[in-house]
Amino acid sequence: MPEIDKSLLYTEMRRLALEAGRAIMGIYELDDFEIKTKSDESPVTIADETADKIIFDGLSKAFPDMAIVTEEQSDTHKNTADTFLIVDPLDGTKEFIHRRGDFTVNIAYVEKGMPIMGVVYAPAKGRLFITDDQGKSFEEMGPFQDDIIGMCKAISVSVPDQGNLTVVASKSHRDQATDNYINKYKVADMRSAGSSLKFCLVATGEADIYPRLGRTMEWDTAAGQAILQGAGGKVVRFDNHEVLSYGKNIFENPFFIAFAPGIDLQNA
């Protein structure tokens, strides 16, 4: 497989995320839209499908030799490579349906099993997080233009105070097991967020740790993990604290912990 042009990848991921975000917001602002149910009982809307087509078509044109995995076409994918592009065109569909705003467009580049570049765009919140071609993470300040990169602010994780932690957890997937694990820490503040914004809150220092004790897929986490790693953070498996890797069987993740280094991780 030829080496990917990371400078081109940066501009294409950003542009396609913005284009998909505009399409999503056009549907979000409608009075009504169709909601269907996939085989795994999760919801899907025309916004998911429209954004998927925009991103897949754009990436395929720019990088015709690169394997591309997207959530909405996952049944057709075979994880035969450890280097690929991976897309969640609308992460947080439940947040989208309930008009809560915490949904994102996620695009990531995985190289040798590790996500090293990504973009997370939250169009309803006007927040855009991206890693550059050197693997450093930034938040770009809006308003956003497709072909002009605006003012970018480098982001970095917090220096956590072990006795005074801020934890971020899922809005839609909070359960007793998660609460039991969180209770192992000295928590000063709790944040909740939908979609991959949880990774970004840790990346910007707005939270210190995000534990996920529930089912996720690689397209849910790759872009957020790239953003967090590019800001100095880590994402590790819950069971053995090894770095979360990609290209797994059926693209399913184990439970994981995303955090700012300096936290003394508790055992399961």
Q: How many residues does the chain have?
A: 268
pLDDT of residue 70: 92
- Give the burial string for 97-130 (b: 16+ CB within 10 Å, else e): beeebbbbbbbbbbeeebbbbbbbbbbbeebbbb
Per-residue pLDDT at 199: 97
- What pLDDT score does 80 carry? 62
CATH architecture, domain defined by 6-154 = 2-Layer Sandwich (3.30)
Give the pLDDT confidence score for residue 171 in this predicted structure: 65
Which H/E stretch holds residue 105?
Answer: strand 104-111
Q: Rounded to an integer, what distance in angstroms lies between the CA atom of residue 195 and that of residue 244?
A: 18
Instruction: Kindly state the DSSP code that residue 249 receives in the 8-state scheme.
Output: G
Q: Same fold for the domain at 6-154 and the one at 165-259?
A: no
Q: Residue 263: phi, psi to the nearest 5? A: -80, 135
Sign of the torsion formed by the C-alpha atoms of 240, 244, 250 and 254: positive
The per-residue pLDDT for 79 is: 60
Identify the sign of the CA torsion 220, 222, 223, 227: positive
Residue 64: asked if its preceding bond is cis (omega within 30°), the reply is no
> Would you kindly state where each structural domain of the chain is located, as residue ranges?
6-154, 165-259
pLDDT at residue 117, rounded to an integer: 98
Kindly report the CA angle at 96 between 194 and 146, in degrees rounded to 5?
90
Pick the CATH number of 165-259 from 3.40.50.410, 3.40.190.80, 3.30.360.10, 3.40.1350.10: 3.40.190.80
pLDDT at residue 45, rounded to an integer: 80
Token output for 245: 């890797």
Task: Give residue 75's pLDDT.
Answer: 63
Per-residue pLDDT of the chain (268 residues; tens, 9 = 90+): 568 999 999 999 999 999 999 999 999 988 778 777 776 667 778 889 999 999 999 999 999 999 899 988 766 556 667 899 999 999 988 888 888 889 999 999 999 999 999 999 999 999 999 999 999 999 999 899 999 999 999 999 999 999 999 999 876 667 888 899 999 999 999 998 888 999 999 999 999 999 999 999 999 999 999 999 999 999 999 999 999 999 987 899 999 999 999 999 987 6
> What pLDDT score was predicted for residue 133?
93
- What pLDDT is stored for residue 97 in this prediction? 83
> Nearest CA to 87 among 176, 24, 158, 16?
16
